[in-house]
Structures are given as structure tokens and as C-alpha cells.
A and B are shown apart, each in its own frame.
Chain A
Amino acid sequence: MADERRHNGQPLLEVTDLRVHFPVREGLLSRARVVVQAVNGVSLALGRGEVFGLVGESGCGKTTLGRAVVGLAPVLSGQIRFAGGNLIGLTGRAAQERARRIQLIFQDPYSSLHPRKTVRDLVGIGLKLHGLATGYEIDEQVLTILEGVGLGLDHLYRYAHEFSGGQRQRIALARALVLKPELLILDEPTSALDVSVQAQILNLLKELRREFNLTYLFISHNLGVVRYMSQRIGVMYLGHIVEMGPTESIFLRSHHPYTRVLLSALPSLDPDAPSQRQVLSGEPPTPINPPPGCPFAPRCPSVQDICCREKPELRQRGEEPTHLCACHFPISNGK
């Protein structure tokens, strides 16, 4: 599968040194402005047909990164290119075309569907707005795509509240796919669902990717889910990608201490082999005043002086050339 990415030279999505900062006012009355550095110099590239998993804890900037790609977050600097063309600062027709080709699936299927519209309108509105179909064609295309996500004719004229969480997420998928997008940004698509339903949706996502030749940017905090879905993984911490590489390489031979901690926190279902949770002290620092050196330094179990002064760069640390890690003292692999 990884070959699909390599034989097609140009990446579908290419993010270079992206920075997204939000100015916020501190306190209700104070005039002092501070800046939340949500994404702080992130670079990544997605090949056509690839599933790239982005993991990290809340506030690490993974959602902001996804939103920046669809133009929903203010980009301070850096580049986002899609199929060779620039994505930053698009307006008019170009922005509309991007809106069709890149679709975003939200975490909460309860708040992301209009409560007063029928499924036919929810799914069909995109076709109408983009001028892709009219009248009866809309119904036809909506029905075809609904069948593709496991719903059918008898769901066409119902409202969102009549559906369960899993079915709503199917509707959200249909709404995205009816526009024949190339890239899907999935922001925690199964976090609001129960495990048995989550399994159904994950399997559906895999089928759809094959069927429609889609590329996924899969954002999640759940490592088990990301491992199941992705070919490559990027681990984010405080606005930075601290480690990135092929899924198995990350899971079996991670170099970054933070990745190690995250992996150790994966719950083990085997009572005879309980997970050896590494308990970190402290909490992630705020992205308002990130530490000057390595973002993970204040919590890192193996921190040294240099870590607090110099930001480590993301580069190859082991044998795998596509496995990158930003750490002054990467963990070498003999375990």
C-alpha cells in the first residue's frame, strides 16, 4: 500500500513549515494580547491514496492543522499545496473548488447535521451549491451514495434526530462523498461512538477509501484506531510533529520518549500482561508560552540541558529512512 504513494511522485497534500497562531485576549478586561501557537512549524506530505494518522492529546494542534487545510484556521506562515496548487488565501471559485475536493468529517455527528433538514437535503445541498446536479439528478446521486454508506431509500426523508450516532456518521460521510472529493479530513470520526459501532464505521471507511480512491488525513487520540487505519503516523505535541513514520515502525521502533509514553498508555486487554503505563508528571504546557527548546522537555523523563535550550529538528534517527524523530536523545532500538 505504501507503494501507491511512492510510484506517484507528487504528493496530493503537502504542508510546509505551517504556523497557525491565534491571538487571544487574556482575561475579560485586560487589553494584553497573547498568542496561542496552535501549530508551530509543521511539515508533512500525503501521497494519493494514503491514510495518514495524526495522533496527540487535546490541545496539541492536530485539529487546527486539519482545519487550516480546509481554510478554517488563519495561517500565519508556511505553505499548503494540494495537487500542486496553493491552498492558502483562496477566494471565490478557487475556494469553492477546494471545498469540493477536500471534505471535513467532524467528531460529533449530533451537532454537525442540521436538525431541521431531511437526509435528502443534508446530503443533496452540496450538489446544488456546487452546481453539480439539479432536480431529479440530485435524488438519484443522493440515493446512490446513501447505499454506498449502508443506508437506503427509506432513510431519504427522515431527520437527523431519528438516527443513531453511527447512522449519523454515515450520513455525514455520504454528505462528503457525494461531491466526489479527493481528500477527506477525518477529525476523530469515531470518538463519539461505541466500540461496536466504531468497528462498523472504521470498516466502512476502509471500503470507501478503496472504492473511491480517497486519501485520508485521519486525526485521532486513539492509537489503536490509528494503527488499524493508517499507513503512516505523525505524533503531535504542543504544535509540533515530534515523530513521523510508517505505522509499524512507529509502533515497534519509536525513538521519541513522548511516543513511548503514549504507546505505554495503550490499555492492555490481557490481565496477564497489563500495560506498563509510564506515568508522566505534570501536564502539557500551554501553547501560549511554549518552552524555548524541545516542547516535551518539561515533562520528559530523560531530559538534558540542551533540550531546554535548543529545539531538536525532525530527521531520520534509525535505519528506516522515512521514520523521522525530533529529539536530541532518541531512544535507540534494541528496545
Chain B
Amino acid sequence: MAEDPLLDVRDLKVEFHTFRGVVHALRGVSFHLHRRETLGLAGETGCGKSVTALAILRLISRPGRISHGQIIFEGRDLLTVGEAEMRRLRGSQISMIMQEPKMSLNPVIRVGDQVAETLLIHDHSLTRGTAKTKAVEMLAGLGIPDARRMAERYPHELSGGMAQRIMIAMMLVTRPKLLIADEPTSALDVTIQAQILAVMKTLIHEIDTAVLLITHDLGVMAETADRVAVMYAGSMVEIGPVRAVLKDPQHPYTQGLLKTIPNAVAPDRPLFSIRGTVPSLLQPPIGCAFAPRCERALDRCRSEVPPRYLLEGGRHVACFLHQGCPEVGTQPEPLVRQNEAGRVSSRMA
């Protein structure tokens, strides 16, 4: 009865061949994204979040390569389609917003023309004039004051928040089915961050797109995502509904990560910190990648890679502490309806 997921990533492996050896950036990542769902991808620098995003768009370039796995988008494996077709999909079906808006905009083209260009590339029936009109409408829809004048500006004349709005307009003007947002608000100030998040949420809802939201900010995650996947050292350690994962994390890494955030901690008590450092992906540990830093590691953790166990509420956790629970292969996680997650729909309204 469950509808097929929009995106189904299966056992994806990406490696980078460097002069120091092979960096195993992704070591068998599997997840699903349903239509109209927002999946948050969390984890620290170098855990493979951005590589996952780039791999989905097939933008991994040498010395990197996708060495294994499937990326099934609307029933088709993206790893087998031709480059011309892939180029058509990028921007029209799958779009990506990068962290640094100013680095992703062309500095010598007026921003309105850059938004219009996206439309022109994917819809040859449009004239330059109508594309420009649509672009201006899009900008106005994003709450940009005086959109017509703003469209005539160059990227360097814009603030960071404004540039990110232009990026969002550019990526959503074609109404893609999947939006990948890689740290869309991390480079922005908090008050601007709040504006951008609000705008993004409204627009995502309006055009019914699914979102893969990459962020290291678990607060942003809590407010935006329906489900969250936590990555560590190139693999996925925990995945489940956002409320469950943040309120009652099951993987020791997720538990540690949540405890390290200084928020309302009593200032007299030292902040929890995970001992040690992230392992090198040149020579990843043999067993569970987190075992060397884990306080509850078993002997088995150091020799075997834990499978994913299925927990109540459709959560997956790759940790031997849950052995005894049924193991899962790569079958889809159950669909979390937005209204099941409760506040998502109510906050949208």
C-alpha cells in the first residue's frame, strides 16, 4: 500500500583516490525519501553528508568515484542514465542549494537573468521576456521587496540573506521534485536565518517538493525535518522520525552529539564531550566506526560492522546494543506522513 519512495539510495559507496590512498567517503549508505517529505541529514564535518548530496546529482568528479550502489529516483537508477539525460534532470527534477550563495552565483550576470536562465534551459518554449517575468514573480513570492529592481542587480550588490533567496528562487522556479539543501542557512546570521527558514518552508509546501536537508545544526533540523538520518564516518548510524531521534536517541553517537550542544546546560557542570576524534577514512576501523570513541562498545563492535536493526516506530539503528531486534536490509522505511509528525503541518498552516 505504501507508495514507492521518490528517492531510494541503496548501499552507496563513494571513494576518492588520492596520493595518500583511497578515502572511503561513503561506505554503504542506504536511505529513502518519500514525496513531500523532508529528510534531514545530520553529522559532523567529513562524515559524508555533502558527498551523499553530490553523488545523488552525479557530481562526484575525479579523483572521486561512485564505486557501488544504486540511486533510484522515480523508479530509474540515476547511475545508469546517460549524461545528457542527467543534465536534463539536474535543475528541473533535482535541484541543489549550496551553503555559500555568493560563491554559487555568477558574479557578472544580473541575478534576475540567472533565475530566468534556469527556466530557459529547461523549457525551450519560453521566450526570454516571459522567463524574466516569471523570475521576477518568483522573487516577489520570496518576500523580496521591489523584486523588479532587485532582479537587475549583480550578486556583489546583495547581502548574504538576499543572495540565498536568489539561490532558492533559482532552484525552485522549475518546481523540482527533489530539493537538496546543503547547509542553506549556516553562513547566515540568526535573524536572517529565521527569515530564510520561514521562506523556504512556505515555498517547499507550496510546490510540494521533497527535501534532503543537510545541516549540522540540530536545532534547524528539529524545526524543519520530518525524519532525520545521522551520519558518522561515511555511514548512517541512525534514521527515524525527527521527534523520536532527538528526544530519545538510540545510537551512542547520536546520544553524545545531542549532549555536546551547549544550550540550557548548567554552566557549572562541564559540557559533555565525546572523547577522541573522528577516524580517518583512509583506513576506517574494521568494526563499527564509532567503537573507538564509544563508551559502551562491546568486543564484537571492534571486529564486525553492525547491521541496521529495526526499532519501534520505524527507526533504524546500526548498533550492536540493539542486537535481538529484527535486522533490516534495504527495504523502505515506513512513510512518515507529515501530519503524523504533528507540528509540521500545523506550523505550515
Contact = CB atoms under 8 A, between A and B. Distances in A.
A269 B195 CA distance: 19
B141 interface: no
A194 B216 contact: yes
Interface residues of B, number: 44
Nearest to B197: A277
Given A206-B270, A228-B262, A268-B223, A280 B343 contact: no
A274 B265 CA distance: 18
A57 interface: yes
A269 B246 contact: yes
Given A227-B267, A270-B222, A196 B274 contact: yes
A275 B190 CA distance: 13
B193 A265 contact: yes
B54 interface: no
Contacts of B278: 164
B295 interface: no
Interface string B136-165: 000000000000000000000001011000
Most buried by B among A195, A224, A229: A195
Interface string A226-268: 0111000000000000000001000000000000011001111
A262 B272 CA distance: 25
A227 B262 contact: yes
B74 interface: no
B168 to A, nearest CB: 16
B219 interface: yes
Interface stretch (B65-73, B101-109, B119-127, B253-261): B253-261
A262 B45 contact: no
B190 A265 contact: yes
A305 interface: no
B256 to A, nearest CB: 7
B44 A195 contact: yes
B159 A283 contact: yes
B262 A267 contact: no
Contacts of B274: 196, 199
Contact of A228 (B190, B197, B243, B265): B265
Contact of B45 (A194, A202, A247, A269): A194
A248 to B, nearest CB: 9
B330 to A, nearest CB: 27
Contacts of A262: 190-191
Contacts of B262: 198-199, 202, 224-225, 227-228
Contacts of B80: none
B272 to A, nearest CB: 6
Most buried by B among A266, A268, A278: A268
Interface string A201-234: 0110010000000000000010011011100000
A200 interface: yes
B217 interface: yes
29 contacts: A58-B189, A164-B278, A165-B45, A195-B44, A195-B261, A196-B260, A196-B273, A200-B273, A224-B263, A227-B262, A227-B264, A227-B267, A228-B267, A265-B193, A266-B219, A267-B217, A267-B222, A268-B219, A269-B218, A269-B258, A270-B247, A271-B243, A274-B343, A275-B219, A277-B223, A279-B194, A280-B191, A280-B194, A283-B162
Interface of A: 57-58, 164-166, 194-200, 202-203, 206, 221, 224-225, 227-229, 247, 261-262, 265-272, 274-275, 277-281, 283-284
Interface of B: 44-45, 159, 161-162, 189-195, 197-198, 216-220, 222-223, 242-243, 246-247, 256-258, 260-265, 267, 270-274, 277-278, 343, 347
6 closest A-B pairs by CB: A267-B219, A228-B262, A199-B273, A57-B189, A194-B44, A199-B260
